[in-house]
Amino acid sequence: WCGRTVLRLAKDLAENNKGARVLVVCSKITAVTFRGPSESHLDSLVGQALFGDGAAAIIMGSDPIPGVERPLFELVSAAQTLLPDSEGAIDGHLREVGLTFHLLKDVPGLISKNIEK
C-alpha cells in the first residue's frame, strides 16, 4: 500500500525542486503471512491470494535533459482517498500464528464503486 504514497510524494518532490531526481524503492513481503487454508477463515486464504510479495525501484524527475535523459513513462497524477463506509473492510492482526488478514465480502464492491473512470 505504501507504493502509492511514495509515488505521490516523489512526483511532488520532483516537480517542485528543479533538476531533482528522486530514487523510489519499495518492497512488500507478505509470504510471512502464508499458512494452510482453514475452513473457519477462508477470507484469510483470499487475502493471501490477492496480496503477494513484490519489489520495485524507479528514478523520478521532471523536465528531462534533452539528449541525456529519455523518460519511459509519465506519471500524470497521483492521489489517495479514504473510501466511505470502508472501516474494517481489510483488517490485519498480529497473532501467535503470525499476521492474519480479514477481508469483508464488500471489498470488491467498495473498490469498484470508488474507482475514477
Q: Decide if 68 is inside a domain.
A: no
The whole domain housing 13 covers: 2-63+84-114
Grid coordinates of 117:
473512470
N residues, the chain: 117
pLDDT of residue 106: 84
Q: Decide if 70 is inside a domain.
A: no
Q: Decide if 53 is inside a domain.
A: yes
pLDDT of residue 117: 47
Task: Decide: pTM greater than 0.75.
Answer: no
Report the b/e string of 73-95 with b at 16+ CB within 10 A: eeeeeeeeeeeeeeeebbeeeee
Exposed, middle or buried, 2 (CB in 10 Å: 0-12/13-18/19+)? Answer: exposed
Report residues of the chain scoring pLDDT below 50: 117
pLDDT of residue 113: 86
Q: Decide if 79 is inside a domain.
A: no
Q: Decide if 35 is inside a domain.
A: yes
